[in-house]
Amino acid sequence: MKHAYIIDNITEGKNVNTVVFSTDDEIKPGQFIMAWAPGINEIPLSFSYINKIKKITVKIYGEASEYIAHLKRGDYLYYSGPYGKPFTIVPGKKLLIGAGTGIAPLIPLIDDNTYGIISGKTADDIIFERYFNNRLKVVTDDGSYGMNGYVTTALKTLDLNEFDMLYVCGPEIMLKTVYDYIKNMDINAQFSLERSMKCGIGLCDSCSINGYQVCTDGPVFSIEQLKNMDEFGRTRLQYSGKRIYF
Ligand SMILES: Cc1cc2nc3c(=O)[nH]c(=O)nc-3n(C[C@H](O)[C@H](O)[C@H](O)COP(=O)(O)OP(=O)(O)OC[C@H]3O[C@@H](n4cnc5c(N)ncnc54)[C@H](O)[C@@H]3O)c2cc1C
Ligand code: FES
């Protein structure tokens, strides 16, 4: 297990913190670590910044994310990785589509030819607008910030043929919504999937989807790969191993 000295902890929004640390690890956009909360669990977390300084942005759901999100300057982050297949970067115009903290792993993809959509249930879920220099649409379910509606409300206002690649990250229901909207268009897209993960290295099967392991075969999958995965957006394994339907 590796360890890194924490340099800073930034509050991004309600129950969302960015933990800043330094490592020599070479990270590619979309890769993740298994971060250790001692005595609690190890959880997968993606990078929101990947230069010499690294950042992970953590939304607090349970005990492990709460522990990691509250690491402060002087503490150590214990982790293994980096793991997973990264996003494939293509030249041209990119559209980044993130729901809530799902926008975090997309931030390292930003260049001067990038446009964004950030969606959330409410204004409290919207983070990282600052990286987009107004080249951005924000949409909230309750209309408390930006457009009122769902991610498709924002998608419908754009000509998607203008983009060379769509990069999408968020809860699987949101990924499926975007997938269904574009699946019959001639659009290139990559999706980062979230599944329960225990090992991160392809051993435990907890993250499986149609025979793929999201931790090693993903988390990034192309739209063409998803077209052959009938479990996508329909069913997944809970942490206990029980299969549930979305
Ligand atoms: C490849 C990958 C990368 C990820 N990157 C990030 C990241 O960069 N930042 C980040 O904040 N999270 C990320 N996650 C999700 C993160 O791993 C989980 O939120 C975390 O494991 C929760 O652990 P916990 O012990 O705190 O909560 P748990 O005790 O596991 O869960 C507490 C409650 O919250 C619910 N819950 C847990 N996680 C989520 C979730 N993601 N969405 C909705 N409900 C949830 C559970 O169902 C449960 O009801 C990533 C997941 C994967 C698979
Ligand atoms: S997390 Fe164990 S196989 Fe993917």
**Distance, CA of 14 to CA of 224 (rounded, Å):** 36
Distance of CA 92 from the midpoint of ligand 1 (Å): 32
Domain 2-83, CATH: 2.40.30.10
Q: What is the pTM of this model?
A: 0.97
Q: For residue 99, what are the β-bridge partners?
A: 119
Residue 149 burial by Cβ neighbours in a 10 Å radius (0-12, 13-18, 19+): middle
Q: Same fold for the domain at 2-83 and the one at 94-245?
A: no
Distance of CA 27 from the midpoint of ligand 2 (Å): 20
Among the CATH numbers 3.40.640.10, 3.40.605.10, 3.40.50.80, 3.30.470.30, which is that of 94-245?
Answer: 3.40.50.80
pLDDT, tens only, 107-158: 999 999 999 999 999 999 999 999 999 899 999 999 999 999 999 999 999 9
pLDDT, tens only, 24-77: 999 999 999 999 999 999 999 999 999 999 999 999 999 999 999 999 999 999
Whether ligand 1 lies within 6 angstroms of the CB of 140 is answered as no
Ligand lying nearest the CA atom of residue 16: 1
Whether ligand 1 lies within 6 angstroms of the CB of 58 is answered as yes
Q: Where are the domains of the chain?
A: 2-83, 94-245
Residue 39 burial by Cβ neighbours in a 10 Å radius (0-12, 13-18, 19+): exposed
Extract the tokens encoding 194.
Answer: 């979230």
Whether ligand 1 lies within 6 angstroms of the CB of 166 is answered as no
User: Ligand 1 pocket: which of 65, 80, 175, 192 to mutate (most atoms <8 Å of CB)?
Assistant: 65
